Amino acid sequence: MDREGSQTRTATRLLPHHPQRLEHDAPPADARLRGLHRVGRPRTRRVPRRASGASAPTPRDAPVLHLDPGGDPQPGGALARVAAGTPALTTSQKGGDSPVNTVPSSVIATRGLTKSYGKHQALFGLDLRVRAGEVFGFLGPNGAGKSTTIRILLDLIRRSGGEARVLGLDPRTDGVRIRRRVGYLPGELTFTSRRPARELLGYLGDLRGGVPRERIGELAERLGLDLSHPIRGLSKGNKQKVGLIQAFMHRPELLILDEPTSGLDPLLQREFLEMVREVRDDGRTVFMSSHVLSEVQDVADRAAIIRQGRLVATEDMDALRQRAARQVRLRFAEPVDAAEFADLDNVRDLTVDGATVRCVVEGSPDALVKQAARHTVLEFDSAEPDLEDLFFAYYTDREETGDAA
């Protein structure tokens, strides 16, 4: 028996929990491809053959595929573990948590979620709820706890306390089942393979039970990715495209995207946002972390703000904008008296310079519009607030409140 043929059959046996048995083609003879099929020994104990009628092994008993030394998301890497549904690499499994009282329409729900690394506390009592069919933005600066939360939800790391449900399942005990139904883009991608992107995406598609090559080609065309180029030589932006394709290609019911537009140029960011809208229109859910606020502003239905491991606020995007202050400029055909506009509802920071009025409107501009209608209006400019201004306003207000306390 040749060695490479044996490795292929071993790879098939080491995915016992996948809903469809992998049907690999025989691996190519080229020695450079051996890394794509390399499988190490299971980290966990060998499971004895069970008698007829015996219960199936738990995910903790399932053998784990090892990370290829080259660093590719091959067997054992985060992308491959999510694709294949293999369990997280941990040394123990804790239990005993009471279930979160989830609403049936909640795709993600956490209560009192905590995570600590020794003496460092990364998450403090996170309460989060994501509804089915929405685009949910998870906002915060680098180091706020966004990636830590995502890894807990996928059982790539284990929580220290609290409760979590994803698609109605507990990541600790049902991580395999969750990852089968999720498309995941990690915040950092490392590709070192010399093989073309087409082969890696085909491999990950096979771990998913089979993704049509036409689907991969369609997404590559939308994102402007040449699949024939070796992965190792791709730019950061093109590697990010590979990551996006593997997350979207199998049409998962939940997409979890960690900093998805990192490295993409503005035109491709727009195409990505269109892909997100299509997922929402299809009734599926997107959980998207970012510190690029404009992309969340364009597509999100709701957004949560996290700061130093604590949830600052969860807001409906439309309601957030309606409460926000707008910069307004009016130019009339003739000079106006400042006293006419000084005491109007929701108007502040008023300045009048001849025929030009500038002010800030908080809430409805109805009173200002009615007063302006008594004159001939030549220009009316209203600048909708940027989400970035609202974001930093939240941070500043909460920080000042905390200091005062």
pLDDT confidence of residue 38: 42
What's the CA gap between 347 and 360, in Å, rounded? 6
pLDDT confidence of residue 134: 94
What's the CA gap between 228 and 167, in Å, rounded? 36
The number of CA neighbours under 13 Å toward the Cβ of 254 is: 24
CA distances from 199 to 213, 232, 236, 309 (A): 10, 13, 19, 39
SS3 147: helix
Lowest mean pLDDT across 29-43, 179-193, 259-273: 29-43
Taking only the tens place, the pLDDT of each residue in 119-157 is 999 999 999 999 999 999 998 888 889 999 999 999 999
Tokens standing for residue 190: 């490392």
What's the CA gap between 55 and 20, in Å, rounded? 19
What's the CA gap between 72 and 74, in Å, rounded? 5
Taking only the tens place, the pLDDT of each residue in 81-101 is 566 554 443 433 333 444 454
Confidence bin at 402 (pLDDT 50/70/90):
low
Sketch out the chain's domains with CATH numbers: 106-320 (3.40.50.300), 325-383 (3.30.70)
Q: What is the DSSP string of 111-132?
A: EEEEEEETTEEEEEEEEEEEET
pLDDT confidence of residue 52: 45
What's the CA gap between 220 and 245, in Å, rounded? 7
pLDDT confidence of residue 45: 47
Contact 123, 148 (CB under 8 A): yes
Q: Which residue is associated with the tokens 């201004």?
A: 389
pLDDT confidence of residue 322: 67
Strands 120-131 and 106-117: antiparallel
Confidence bin at 78 (pLDDT 50/70/90):
low
What's the CA gap between 279 and 289, in Å, rounded? 16
Contact 331, 378 (CB under 8 A): yes
